[in-house]
Amino acid sequence: MLSSTLRGVLAVALCVLPLWCAPGHAQTAPAAGVQPRLFGYVDGAGMAHFASSALDSRYAPVLRAQHDEVGRVPGKTMVRSSLLTWLEFAPEVKAVQPWLRDAERATGVDLELLQAIIAVESGFKRDLVSPRGAVGLMQIMPDTADRYATKAERTARPVDERLRDPRSNIMAGARMLADLDRRLGGIDVALAAWNAGEGKVRRAGGKVPAIAETQAHVHLVLELYWALLQQRQHRQAKDMNLVPSDPLQPVALR
C-alpha cells in the first residue's frame, strides 16, 4: 500500500528538501535556514484562507514553531493553530471526508495527504478555477482528469462537470498521485511533478527540480501532511486513553 510507504519516508523527504522561498518570489532564495511556510486565517464567516506567504496582517503560520532552531525537522516542533483545528472541524472539510476515505481505500493514498494537497491547492474551494485552467478542490487540469478517468466516467459526464464534483475531483487527484509515486519512486518527486509537470522532474534526473515555487509547494504539502498525520495519531491515542503531553508529538505505545 502506498500509504504505509509514505509514512515511512516522509520524515526523510522533509529533511532533504532544499529550502526555497514561497511562490510569488520565485527568483529569490531565502536566507540560510528559512523554511517556506503555509499561512492562513479564518474569517468572520468561518471560511479559511490559505497562502504561501503572509499577504496581509490577518495571515499567520498554519504550523507555528515552538522554537526557531535551524535544521528542525518539519512537523516535529509544531503546535496546533486555529487553522489546524479548522482543518479538523470545518463543515466544508467534513463534507468531503467520505470521498477522501473512498479515494484512500481505492488508491492507497493517505487521506491526510489528499487533505494537505487540497488545503494548499484550493483552500477547500470546490469551484476554484486557476488562471491556467486547473479546476476544483485538487486543482486538476481537464486533460489530466480525462487521463485518470475510466471510460464509463468519461462517457457519463463532461470533464468540467466531473472536476467540479468533489468526489470525482478527489478520486482523479488520488489516482494521479498514486501513479506518479509508483512511476517516479517518491512522494516528494510525485508532488513536484504534480506542481511543475513530470517532464521537468525527469529533466532534473528524477529529483525535485530547482524551481523555487515547486520546492516551496512540495515542502508545504509535506509539512502539513506530517502535522495532520500526528493529529490523527493523537485522536487514536485519546481513543485508547493514551494522551501525549504534546498533542502533535508521536505517542509511545507501551
Per-residue pLDDT, 165:
98
Q: How many CA atoms lie within 13 A of 54 on its CB side?
A: 8
Q: Which residues contact 238 (CB under 8 A, 6 or more apart)?
A: none
Active-site position among 104, 112, 121, 223:
121
Is 170 inside any structural domain?
A: yes
- What are the C-alpha distances in Å from 184 to residues 10, 54, 218? 15, 33, 15
Is 22 inside any structural domain?
A: yes
Per-residue pLDDT, 25:
30
Per-residue pLDDT, 68:
44
Alpha-carbon span 226 to 222, nearest angstrom: 6
Facing residues of 49 across strands?
Answer: 41
Q: Could you confirm whether 223 is annotated as catalytic? A: no
Dihedral over alpha carbons 95, 6, 129, 206 (to 10 degrees): -170
Is 239 inside any structural domain?
A: no
3-state secondary structure of 224: helix
198, three cell numbers: 513530470
Is 247 inside any structural domain?
A: no
Dihedral over alpha carbons 221, 76, 236, 110 (to 10 degrees): 20
Is 196 inside any structural domain?
A: yes
Looking up residue 6, the CATH number of its domain turns out to be: 1.10.530.10
Per-residue pLDDT, 32:
40
What is the H or E stretch that residue 61 is in? strand 60-61
- Contact criterion met (CB below 8 Å) for 230 and 249: yes
Nearest CA-CA partner of 164 in 146, 139, 143, 191: 139
- Contact criterion met (CB below 8 Å) for 251 and 244: yes
Domain that holds residue 47: 2-234
Q: How many CA atoms lie within 13 A of 151 on its CB side?
A: 0
Nearest CA-CA partner of 84 in 35, 22, 39: 39
Per-residue pLDDT, 178:
98
Alpha-carbon span 136 to 49, nearest angstrom: 15
In 129-182, the DSSP E strands lie at: none
Question: If you ran DSSP here, which 8-state letter would residue 141 be given?
Answer: -
- Region of residue 237 (phi > 0: left; psi between -120 and 50: alpha; otherwise: beta): alpha
Is 194 inside any structural domain?
A: yes
Nearest CA-CA partner of 106 in 139, 150, 142, 136: 150
The count of domains in the chain is 1
Is 222 inside any structural domain?
A: yes
Per-residue pLDDT tens digits of the chain, which is 254 residues long: 444 434 444 433 443 343 333 333 333 333 344 456 777 787 777 677 777 778 888 888 776 654 444 444 444 434 456 778 888 889 999 999 999 999 999 999 999 999 999 999 999 999 999 999 999 999 999 999 999 999 999 999 999 999 999 999 999 999 999 999 999 999 999 999 999 999 999 999 999 999 999 999 999 899 899 889 888 877 777 777 765 555 555 444 43
